[in-house]
Structure 1
Amino acid sequence: MTVADTKVRLLATGQGALREFGTLFALGLDVLAGMFRRPFQVREFIQQFWFVASVAIVPAALIAIPFGAVITLQLGSLTAQIGASSFNGAASVLAVIQQASPIVTALVVSGAAGSAICADLGARTIREEIDAMEVLGVSPIRRLVVPRVQATMLVAALLNGMVSVVGVCGGYFFNVIVQGGTPGAFLASFSALAQLPDLWVGEIKAVIFGFLAGLVASYRGLNPRGGPKGVGDVVNQSVVITFLLLFFVNFVISVIYLRIVPPKGA
């Protein structure tokens, strides 16, 4: 392979990735527009909401406990080294609410529910059900994609609250029991430095992450290649792509939030 061939392949790969991103962005706009157009697919939305919640709630709760404990234990050891143990509660709780809870929620929703959504739509696509719907004049985006994305968004928002509570309680337990902290200092530091926007930014992140998880899963499910094997491939791709987008978007939102909302007492 010559250098010229390598350059051509790299250029083609870049153009293909840009085309995929443009198609995904266009699908996102169609989904956002479809959320506010009648008729609303209430029955499909309820079914998808129940499915996503049923497969994600238990893993999210189980993962939240060690996440909150690890963050609290690590921050507790660091604050003890610099003589700031009284601020351990605020640091650990804010880390859980702002960063850990939305990420944990989105990873669980994407891994447990997003993969199933992608596989379901991929199977429908290779069986030509999507083409049949289009021939009949039924929009597969409004009929299938929009209810699934709405379900992942709502479940992510609700699960984020649960994960936050479980993570904070787990961190409190390990700080008081394992590290010998005092309950009063933990709660006092949290109430002194935390503010309501810290909770809102976590919920906003969860809703955006849920939207991305449902959107990417639906997009890859509608575009499988190579029959049943292609469905398995797009399921793996949807999870990986969602994870990459989540961490990038989380970084962007965190930077914007820290720039706009000043810390309490600043």
Structure 2
Amino acid sequence: MDENSQAIARSALADSTFAKTAAVFGDFYGFVGEVFKQMFTRRFQFREFVSQAWFIITVSFAPALLVSIPFCVVIIFQVNQLLIQIGAIDLAGAGAAVAVVREIGPIVSVLVVAGAGATAICADLGSRKIREEIDAMVTLGIDPIERLVVPRVVASTLVGVALNGMVTVVGLVGGYFFSVVLQGATPGLYLSDLTLLVGLPDFLASEAKAAVFGLLAGLTACYLGLNAKGGPKGVGDAVNQTVIFAFMLLFAANSVISTVFLQIKLGA
């Protein structure tokens, strides 16, 4: 094969790959639009929502708690080391609040939701797909998006918000212990400085982050689960893809939301 033929083959392969990628993104956005359309109807499956919310909490609560303690404490410990160097350890509360409320809380809580809850959702829907249960529902006139997807997406969103509050509290309490007991910060100043740089708008922005992250994780898990192919191996591949794609979306969304919030706050 001459060089021209190889170049033509590479170009055709690149075009085919781009077309497939564009088709997948288009299908995903269409799926998201249908989910939002079904989300605001009177036929919301409340019982399924409660069941899925409880399920996600059971698989996510303990991992979130165990991850938040070392994650928050390590970051706060390092920040306090810098404050000790400049003789400002009594500002430890302000540093802990900024680190935990703005970034660590939403990231830790929803990484756990994406890593534990979303993968379980994807595995459940993928198993139903390869057993042809989804096709049977469609044949019976039952919309799988309305019946299965919407409750899971809403549950993932609300559990992400709830876990963010829990991680925030655990992080600040752990920061208090390490700052006051181990690094010599003043207890009263630690508590009073919690609101020095962080206020109610920051906490609401943190909760909004967690909601967006949980929404993205739930949408990704449901989409990949409903499109699983190739038997059990396909379900396993979909679960692995859920973790990767969810994390990519979460970090991208975090960058955008953090930038927009800081610009609005500084502009105000």
Q: TM-score, normalising length from structure 1?
A: 0.94
The total of aligned residue pairs comes to 264
Partner of 2:257: 253
The residue aligned with 1:38 is 42
Aligned to 1:90: 94
2:152 pairs with 1:148:
yes
1:211 aligns with 2:215: yes
Out of 59, 75, 92, which is 1:55 matched to? 59
Q: How does 1:235-254 map to 2 (within 5 A)?
A: 235-254=239-258
- More off after superposition, 29-38 vs 13-22: 13-22
Q: Take 2:146 and 2:164, find their aligned partners in 1: how far apart are those partners?
A: 26
User: In structure 2, what is the Cα distance between the partners aligned to 1:24 and 1:183?
Assistant: 50
Moved more, 240-249 or 79-88: 79-88
Deviation at 1:9, TM superposition (A): 2.2
Separation (CA, whole Å) in 1 of partners of 2:101 and 2:17:
38
1:155 Cα deviation after fit: 0.8
Which residue of the partner structure matches residue 178 of structure 2? 174
Cross-structure match for 2:138: 134
CA contact (8 A) 1:156 1:207 kept: yes
Q: Is the 8 A contact 1:101 1:164 kept in 2?
A: yes
Report the more deviating stretch, 186-195 or 147-156: 186-195
Structure 1 distance, partners of 2:14, 2:179, is 51
Unaligned runs of 5+ in 2: none
> C-alpha displacement at 1:151, in angstroms?
0.7
Superposed CA deviations along residues 66-111 of structure 1, whole A, max 9, x for unmatched, are 1110111111112223343333221221111111111111111111
Asked if structure 2 preserves the Cα contact closer than 8 Å seen for 1:71 and 1:171, the reply is no
1:75 pairs with 2:97: no
Q: Deviations over 1:181-205 (max 9, x none)?
A: 2212222322222211110011001
Deviations, residues 146-178 of structure 1 (Å, cap 9, x unaligned): 000011111111111011000111111111122
Query: Which sections of structure 1, spanning at least 5 residues, go unmatched?
Result: none
- One-letter code aligned to 1:25: Y
Q: Is the 8 A contact 1:68 1:167 kept in 2?
A: yes
TM-score, normalised to structure 2, is 0.94
Q: Of 192, 195, 202, which aligns to 1:198?
A: 202
State the partner residue of 1:164.
Answer: 168
The 10-residue stretch of structure 1 (74-83 or 160-169) with the greater mean CA deviation from structure 2: 74-83
Is structure 2 residue 107 aligned with structure 1 residue 100?
Answer: no
